[in-house]
Structure 1
Amino acid sequence: MDWLERVNRAMDYIEENLVDEIEFKEVARLACCPEYHFPRMFSSMTGMTLSEYIRRRRLSLAAFELQNNSDVRIIDLALKYGYDSPDAFSRAFKSLHGVNPTAARNKGIELKAIPRLSFQISIKGAVEMDYRIEVLDFEIEIVGIKQKVTTKDAFQVIPKLWGEATESGLLHRLIDMSWEHPQCKMEGILGVVGKQAAITDEDFDYLMGCRYTGELPTDMEKIVLPKSTWAVFPNISEAWQRLYTEWLPTSGYELANLPCIENQLAPDRVPSSELWVPVIASK
């Protein structure tokens, strides 16, 4: 099953469960994409968050029901589409459609239809995407401090963790350790996400560390990654935006069961950061 088919399978699940609870973990599983990364992938492809898309689809269906069934009650629609009260539903409905649900019953009222999304291959490539494949035929030892992160809040929480690490002095400790025993390749300050690329749990451990082969500090932990192959992209934020939509679908690779690693290099380096993505050849 190719990448395009997997993503559309996830969209089918959303469409089939618009009047039920939608599990984001299941959406990510069907797309064969880490739950941590799927919302970023979706936003980069569509220009809206996954939650916003689901909300707009539900309100679009609610408008159809109001137009086609004059007897449907507002409170029933509110509960059907996941709202706690008719007032909350009415506010959301008016925000999208510009009129309240009662007015939407009238013929001649202009409403917004939000079509379901499906993904197709499009021609891109006007801007090249730099990458390199690194085959590391040795184990990688990474030492650092772990923090528990809730998956759904990860993109807001992790930058704050690094800010706290700067204030507490942890970041400078890691910098000193990386200079004490310098390593080739993945030599920067590292953010290790969970245990594998396919994060499906509600939370995961995020390790802030560096490659280090000296004596393990008493307040730190060590993880060891096996020999592995990595796709390495310059500039972390740009790489995340384009990884799933442009590189992965046509690369001949799939994600491996190792963590993705954000590698922060020295400020005078160009680029100043790299995204290391564990990969295996597609079957």
Structure 2
Amino acid sequence: MNDALTTAYRERFAMVCDYIARHLDEPLTLDKLSALAHCSPYHFHRQFAAFSGLPLYRYIQWLRLRHASWRLAFNPQDKVIDIALDAGFQNPESFSRAFKTAFGKSPRQFRVAPDWLDWHQRVPMMASQEQQSMDVQIVDFPPTRVAMLQHRGSPALVNASAAKFIEWRKQSGLSPVKQSKTFGIAWDDPQSTAPEAFRFDICGSVSDAVPDNAFGVINGEIAGGRYAVARHLGSLDNLSQSVWAMFREWLPASGESLRDAPVFFHYLNFVNDVPEHALQTDIYLPLK
């Protein structure tokens, strides 16, 4: 198979994965998905598994269970029965069985005490459609006072730190999520940094100083200045690919130089509130 045919083949199945992500709350029939891939329904299962690494049914179920786990952990107001039905299960019992098989805990046990290290070990990397192009803008970002929780340690435990920050937000009322902006400061690349050395700051904009608290949230500031900004669309699993695309493709062609400051992210929405394909995250590269 020549390169052009290989690329076309991968693009077709990436499009199928993107379609699945956008229609998880609908019936996903073999006839519809195989037609999208321009292949025979008879051979589709094998071809999809070869591309994604998972059988079609398991791929769909994992996407639904991933989103259900985020809702369980971060949306305590959502009833288990509603999460089950939204994940495509006919009743809470079948959802509970599938969830426990996938994560080793019942939905209620996971809600009380999510084990994110174990979660990352169990959840497979999901294939998805790559972002084809990014519109990069240069902006002047103002110095921004933030409440900051410094995560230190494995990237797999960032969700645990996020839960702590969310609880601080709820109890303090100083950084209400609907009025405050949410940022992540990436000091290290998780792909090239030892887990124990990984640093990531979770931040919410505030107007007043943060008092001492039991959560470890401190006062901080995101440095103002010139930044190159591009919007990443979709799963945060692929966020690093968009960052590297800015370094690899946009930066050399732009004639710009980087300032000695970390990359940071502005999260416009959250995975426990919207489907993964609807996530929007702005990437900020500091410029001189």
TM-score normalised by the chain length of structure 1: 0.41
Larger Rg: 1
TM-score normalised by the chain length of structure 2: 0.40
